[in-house]
Structures are given as structure tokens and as C-alpha cells.
Structure 1
Amino acid sequence: MQRRHQLLTLLVMVIWGFNFSAIKLAVTGINPLLMTALRFSFATLPLLVFIPRPAVSWRYLLGYGFSFGVGVWGMASWAMSMALDPGLTSMIEQLSVVFTTLAGLWLFRETLSRYQWLGITMAIVGVIVLVGLPDHPPALLGCLLLLISTLSWAVASCLVKRAAPANVFAFSLWGMAMAPLPLIGLTWLIFGGAPFVSLVTHPPLNSLLAVLFQAYPTTLFGYWVWNHMLVRYPLSVVSPLMLLVPIFGVLGGVWFYHEPFGCSAALGGALMLCGVVLVTIPLRWSWLRKISKATFNLS
């Protein structure tokens, strides 16, 4: 990746990491599915008047809206409403890297070096360490919802790659605009009318501010950059960068919610960070191998 694209993507990873704390705040006052519907409504509806629909099939827009809006963030927000901490959730969510990278291998015939495979393995082990923290037993239903969320990430990423839209921003906008109606329908079907009544009669200001943070810097800016990178670079190069998100997710959880960060959490985070290094810059390791070989020959 070009240096400016790396820096831009890093900024998005920071925003996405702190976004988990914003979600946690939002779901304390608003039903998680309804909150996600508000997020995508705020982000997309005002701009649809000015941004023409991209020249892609409706099935890609509908598929992206459902997989990304309902599958990824509807399920993740619902899981966080079940007492899952922001930092822990951001860590578990990184299993999407594995599914997305494997999807790139299967659907687009991308290749991975053995160092990248090692990095993916280390990242998975890091997630397992975090999920198995004795002080943070996650709810089973919450973990199942996060698994659906991570699988949906892979589906959404592949849809963007397959559609290859000329205008990535327009694709993101129109695709996300497909999400609010299914989310509202699911809210009514599962929780009834109580969440809607509560939102109107007792609107929570802090939760609504958190929704605005999710709508604009996180959604509009973040996914415009992300989808642009998905189209420009291979999935196996772009998707592992999401492993940086939990670093900032943990920092946000510690800062805003005083999440404990012990030795097990540090070990899991270190494994994931090492996995990022191995997956994203494998050539560095080939250089190290050459240096080590030269040093051995000299000795």
C-alpha cells in the first residue's frame, strides 16, 4: 500500500476502535437494533438526494446493506447490549479478518505466504486467549451474535470486491441506505413497539450523540476509505489491517469504562499485534531471514 493510504487507513482504525465505546454508550439508552437503524439513517438519507445511485446491480446494494448494516453492526450492537465490554468485543470482532482473508483466497484466488499464515494463526490464538479470560466470561448469545457479525464482514467485503464500483462513496452510501428498514422491522418483530415509544417519550441525549459519532466519522468517512482500499488492493492486504482496531478498542474501554487490562489481555493483544506485523509486512521478515543467513555465513 502507498504510504498515504496506510496513514489514512490507520486513522480509520483509530476511529473504529473508539467506536466500540460509542456503541456501548448508545445501547444503554436505545435498543441496539433501533440504534443501528438510526445510525445508518442519519448517515445516508440526507445525502441520497445529492449522490446518484452507482452503476451497479441492485442485488449488490441490497446484499451490502443487509450484510453490513444488519449482519455486522446490528448483531455487534445487540451483543454489546448483553454486557460485553467494548475492548473485548473489538477483539472478538477481529475474527472477521480470518473469514475475509480466506474468502479472498477462495473467491479471488489471492495468495498468502507462510509468514502471513503464521500471522493469521497468531491472531486467532490471541482472540482465543481473550475470549477465555477468566475474569470476563462472555455471554453465549453475545458470542454467537458476534460470530454472525464477523461472518457478515466477510460477505460484505466480498460484495464490494465483486461489485468493483467506480464510485466507492456512492456505493457505500446507497448500500448502507438499504439497512434501516430491515433493522426497524427486526426491532419490531423481536422487541415490539416499546423501543420506539421509549425513544420518543424519553430521548437519551448522550446515546443520540454517540449515534451521531457512529453515523459521520465512523460510517461515512470510515467506510468510504475502507471500501476504496478494498477495491484498490487485494483482500489479503487490506483486511488484516482491521487487527489494529482492537488496540484502540481496548484503549477506549480502559479510558471510558475502566475495563481491567491484565496479563491475559496483554498476551492476547500482543499476539494479535504480532499477527498484524507478519500479515501486512511479510517482506520485512524475508529481509530479516537474509540478514540472519548472511550473519550465520560470516560467523
Structure 2
Amino acid sequence: MGQAISGEGQARGFGARDLIVVAAMNILWGLNIIAVKMAVSEIAPLTAGFLRQGLVLLVCLGSLRIIAGRMLALTVLGMLSGGAFYVATNLSLSITHNVGALAIAGQLGVPFSLLLAIVVFREKIHLPRIAGIALSVAGVGLLVFDPTMVNEIPGLALTALASFIWAICSLIQRRLIGVPVLTIYAWIGFWGSIILGTIALAVEPAAMRSIPHIPLKTFGWVVFSAVGSSVMGQGAMSWLLQRHPVSVVTPLTLASPVIAVFATGWYFDTPPTMLMLTGGAIAMIGVAIVTIRTARAGDTP
């Protein structure tokens, strides 16, 4: 997990161990939305975020170090990815009942990152990826017309904002090629803890005071989210990218939102509606097009 992020994987055969890692990564990311929803429901959204980032920092503390020439990027990434992203994400989950819809809306990060790459890096794209962006946005847009989503629009809007923040972070990570994953996450945990802790102390003082009394079961949701999703999930992705080309690895992550939609529907007894499934399918087709075409172009969406 401590290996550096790399844009070029080693050309090796894709064996049983790789498939196990892919499956574990998708399951961890797919089930994470359940863990976060339970955490923000039983603790408080910002306090839960503070605990998650604190745990990430604790796990990665040994890798927290100054990286010459990269500290500005690491600081901005930490403040956005560790702070702003989780403010938007946790608030969206705390006010949303049908969280499966958020798993679909969260896929906007992929087209958003490509659109930002076009603006910032003047990246040129052709018709297939343009169509992918359009399908992604259209699929998520369909959710607004689902009668069961009427009360979920604020949560969807916050998730869209979180996706945009994630897209910005993906561009910043392009400048961190060669920096160990655990070092990146140590700084994300560092800045996330400071930002979320400060905000939570101001708006959720009772929840912050109650941290020592959180039940072990409830704290387990935070542990799963911090260690399972953030550290192990991202570590698995990094490990795969060390062994295989980007064009092979990135499409394999597309299973996680599908797992999220059906897992949340089962766990929270909110089965997806036909319109939600249709919108999700359209969005995922668009995301798949953008992901696969971008990976083949030699970049990580």
C-alpha cells in the first residue's frame, strides 16, 4: 500500500490474486456508503467525519513527512479531499433516506474531472467521451424526476458538489505522481482532522463531547470507512496500478457503485425504482465510456 502512485502499470498477467484484490476493492468501496450513512446517523455528520479522518491519520501517521516541492499540492489536496469533500458528503448522507441515489449521483465525479481537465489542461476529447459525459449527466438528471426522490434533491445537490470537489482533487493528484499513497492519505487525514474537528466543535459540540461514550458497534462503522474504504481500498487500487496498465485497472472499479446501489437498497429496505435503475444504467454507461476511453488515452479519470 505504501508504493507510489504511478500512471503506468507493469505489464503482468492478471491472475487469481489480482481478481481477489479487485473484488475486495469494489466490495469495500461499494459497502462504504452503508458505513458512512450509519455513522452520520448514530454520531453526527461532521463529528463522524472528524473521527474518520483522525483514524486515517493514525493509521498513516508513520508516513506523514515533508515532500519537497509537493507541499502546496498536498496541503490543498488535504484541505479539499479531507475537509470540504467530507463536509458535503456526510451532510448529504445525513439528510438523505434513499442513499442508493447518492451512489449514482456520486459518479458525476468522473465526467466532472474530465471537464476540468479540458478547461485546465486543454485536454482534447472526441465524440465518444463527449457522449459519455452527456449520458452521465442525463442519467443522474433522471433521478430528479423520480417521485420518490422529491425529498432527496438537497442530498443529491450536496453529492453533486462533493463530486465536483473530488474532480478537483483528481487533478491535484496528477501533480503527486511518485508520492507514496500512505503519505498522501496521511496529509489528507491531517488536514481533514483539523478542518472537520474545528467545524464540528462549533456546530456539533454535544456530539464531540460524547466521543468517549460512542458504542463500540457504532465506532466500528467509522473504522470500516476509514481503514477499509480509504486506506485498504485506495491501497488496493495503487497495488493494481503498480502491476497493470491504467487502461486495464480503472474500468474494473465500475462495479463499486453498482454494489452500492443494491447493497443500500437491501440494507435500508429502499429498493431502487424503475426510473432510478434506468437513470443509474444510463449514468453508468456514460461513466464507463469516459473511464475506459480516458484510461486508454493513458490517463486516470
TM-score bucket (shorter structure): 0.7 to 0.9
Please give the residue correspondences for 1:34-45 in structure 2 after superposition, counting only pairs within 5 Å. Answer: 34-45=47-58
The corresponding residue for 1:251 is: 262
Q: Quick one: which amino acid aligns to residue 122 of structure 1?
A: L
Q: Distance in 2 between matches of 1:237 and 1:152?
A: 26
Deviation sequence 1:140-164 (CA, Å, 0-9, x none): 5433422321121012111111232
* Gapped regions of structure 1 (runs ≥ 5): 284-299
**Residue 191 of structure 2 is aligned to residue 178 of structure 1:** yes
Correspondence 1:2-13 to 2 at 5 A: 4=14, 11-13=24-26
* Structure 2: 5+ residue stretches without partners: 1-8, 295-301
Q: Which moved more, 1:167-176 or 1:34-43?
A: 167-176
Deviations 1:48-73 (A, max 9, x none): 13554444432222211111112222
Q: How far is the alpha carbon of 1:47 from its aligned partner?
A: 3.3
- 1:92 is aligned to 105
Are 1:166 and 2:182 matched, yes or no?
Answer: no
Matches within 5 A, 1:58-137: 58-137=71-150
- Name the counterpart of 1:194: 206
Who is 2:35 aligned against? 22
Question: Could you tell me how far apart the structure 1 residues matched to 2:76 and 2:240 are?
Answer: 19
Aligned partner of 2:231 in structure 1 is: 220
Equivalents in 2 of 1:236, 1:34: separation in Å?
38
* Structure 2 partner of 1:293: none
Q: Does 1:273 align with 2:284?
A: yes
User: How far did residue 17 of structure 1 move?
Assistant: 1.8
Structure 1 range deviating more: 137-146 or 19-28? 137-146
What TM-score do you get using the length of structure 1 for normalisation?
Answer: 0.81
Listed one character per residue, the Cα deviations across residues 203-251 of structure 1 (whole Å, up to 9, x for unaligned) are 1333211101011120112233556889999999988876543211111
Q: CA RMSD in A?
A: 3.2
In structure 2, the CA distance between the partners of 1:196 and 1:100, relative to structure 1 (3 Å rule), is: same
1:206 counterpart = 2:230: no
Q: What percentage of aligned pairs have identical amino acids? A: 27
Q: In the alignment, is the contact (CA less than 8 A) between 1:27 and 1:207 conserved in 2?
A: no
Larger radius of gyration: 1
- Note the C-alpha offset of 1:182: 0.7
